[in-house]
A and B are shown apart, each in its own frame.
Chain A
Amino acid sequence: MASVALTNLDPASRAAARGWSDLTIRNLFIIPTLVFLIVFNIFPLIYSLGYSFTNFAANRSEPWQFVGLQNYRELLSDDHIWSNFVITAKYVIVSVAGQMVVGFGLALLLNRSFPMKGLITTLLLLPMMMSAAVVGLFWQLLYSPSWGPINYVFGLGDFAWLSNPDSALYAVAITDIWMWSPFVMLLSLAGLSAVPQHLYEAAAIDRAGWWYTFTRITLPLVSPILLIALIFRTMEAFKTFDIAYTMTTQPTAELIAIRLYKQAFQQWDTGKSCALAYIVLIMVLAITNLYVKYLNKVKER
């Protein structure tokens, strides 16, 4: 790499006067980022792997002991943790499926020219740009049993969305769908506009109806980018913490990330929570790997 000349430094520049080469300048940009990444990402990642094999507790000064795989063994045989995983799985399925359907549907509607298309698209993207904590608080107000607009509009009386154990998780999922459908919509729009117009013309000439064209041409050609949206949203939904934590305290809506947070910062069981974090990480990696394998298969065609 060092032998590759990046650019020719202007000999009259101040950098040249200080005796810097273009490589020096490149390093000035890259090294701080690398240092930052190592200190705040890679080092904690490795360090927490070490903690996950101990009974370390961050709020106590007692010496910690190496406990081997005990944390993992306890976690994997803990019914509570498994119910957290089941809750998370339900949440991921409902919210990601919802986002895919709503997002792709919106993209289909937007994929034509009509007045004020740009403005409408931008407005639809707004939810995605808000802070999750703010979105959580807003939707808490929207869901309010006594005076929330949702119950008013749907005539649901004083139905308590967020404190009803049966509905809390789905109420959070709806909020997540509202917030992240625009992301799927954006990717789908890019995918849809990449389908060449002449293929639709060929299909029209070939006497294909709307549905036939959609299932045989549109969907297959957009599916790689839909899969990418699916990967991103599944990963994110699996890790959901902020929305759910601000919106509800129902145990039926206790996602694995919330369980992890409680373990680490309410019970101060640092070693065990590191182990749980690693279990979650491995699961997310496994799921995304499956997707990526499938994506590559789709792309090969």
Chain B
Amino acid sequence: MTQIELRGIEKFFGAVQVIHNLNLAIADNEFIVLLGQSGCGKTTTLRAVAGLETIDKGDILIDGKPVQHLKAADRDIAMVFQSFSLYPHMTVFENVAFPLRATRMSSGEVDKSVREVARVLRITDLLDKRPSALSGGDMQRVAIGRALVRRPKAMLMDEPIGALDAKLREEMRAEIKRLHVKQGSTTIYVTHDQIEAMSLADRIVIMHEGFIQQVGTPDEVYSHPANLFVAQFVGSPVMNIAEARVADRPGAASVTVGGAPAGFEFPHRLLSKLNGHSNGGLTLGIRPEGVLVRHDAASGYMPVEASIIEPLGSFDIVDLKVGSTMLRARTKAGYVSGPGEKVHVRIDPEQAHFFDTASGKSLGVRL
């Protein structure tokens, strides 16, 4: 039963402020993912919670008690490092037993706890080996075992699977999820990989340059990005962003991107929802799956030319030239046969996002 709360955290490295007034409340048993590019302050935030980094302002509360002045050892928090940080001169057993022995637990209990954790993580066969003899995935299992064995108040994970290769990453991702469901402990997980974040998190915290951009469930940050940064950071392939102009047409609204001669047709109620943002300073965001492509002409579809096609196996990403801008569309594999092919395109109004160009903030318009 552990709640963690961060209140008004500020952190400077010299004159550089790396965390700006960060506020976050984490519920018991919640799996929180801090997501952002390297240098966005996510790891610093995690290390501050762990007690490996001091903060310059604000409070860190664990179960309501301020801990920012406590040493790491006194916060009862376990951490899994990106570099695994296994003790190279100890066997797997000794590594997992280390946090128990450090607190003078009796050897019988140590043995029991270590074997129990080893069974859960399926590393029982490895207990007598040294870390240097393990594969990357096994090393990470051991590192997680060392964190789990003491039943800590909370688990912190700093890009725990970032150093593994793609296939193993997928496996370990599922394993971490399975463990969290089974063991259930408050977890803060840092990553720059949005797929990891989407698949693991109860809530995602997206950070950029020391500021929290958005906090929300994976579905919320994907479907309702709070600003242009989140819109482009979450989701793959990346969301299309284009400066847009909106015009009033009889019975409809027309959205023009890239100075194209014709506009895309939108329902007329867009105009009232945009509420004055229609002329200048408006940015349209549309995910590639919201760009609809067909071969033959149809009402509302605009004729365009395909320029680049990226086959990605189960689907293709097709770059379409609309005016002076490129829209990337997601199509069935092989739907557009080659560059230069003439196709017809439409934007699905229900999947369109609108942002204020100057501030980058979402206008919250959904049709």
Contact = CB atoms under 8 A, between A and B. Distances in A.
Interface of A: 196, 198-199, 201-209, 212, 216-217, 220-221, 301
Contacts of B78: 205-206
Given A205-B77, A207-B103, 6 more contacts: A198-B85, A199-B85, A204-B73, A208-B99, A216-B87, A217-B87
25 contacts: A196-B85, A198-B83, A199-B85, A199-B87, A201-B52, A201-B72, A201-B85, A202-B146, A203-B102, A205-B72, A205-B73, A206-B99, A206-B102, A207-B73, A207-B99, A207-B102, A207-B103, A207-B150, A216-B87, A216-B90, A216-B98, A217-B87, A220-B89, A221-B89, A301-B130
Interface of B is mostly: loop
Interface in B34-58: 50-52
A204 B89 contact: no
B222 interface: no
B32 interface: no
A221 B130 CA distance: 14
Interface of B: 50-52, 71-73, 76-79, 81, 83, 85, 87-90, 98-99, 102-103, 130, 146, 150
A221 B103 CA distance: 21
A200 to B, nearest CB: 9
Contacts of B76: 207
A208 B81 contact: no
A205 B87 contact: no
A199 to B, nearest CB: 6
A202 B77 contact: no
Nearest to A195: B88
Given A220-B89, A221-B89, A201 B81 contact: yes
Q: Pick from B77, B85, B103 the residue with the most CB of A within 10 Å.
A: B85
Contacts of B71: 204
Nearest to A219: B89
Given A198-B83, A301-B89, A204 B102 contact: no
A201 B86 CA distance: 11
A216 B83 CA distance: 20
B78 to A, nearest CB: 6
Contacts of A201: 52, 72, 81, 85
Contacts of A207: 73, 76, 99, 102-103, 150
B152 to A, nearest CB: 9
A204 B76 CA distance: 11
A48 to B, nearest CB: 44
A201 B50 CA distance: 10
B98 A205 contact: no
Nearest to B71: A204
A187 to B, nearest CB: 19
A202 B85 contact: yes
Contacts of B89: 220-221, 301
A221 B51 contact: no
Contacts of A217: 87
A206 B83 contact: no
A216 B88 CA distance: 11
Contacts of B52: 201, 204-205
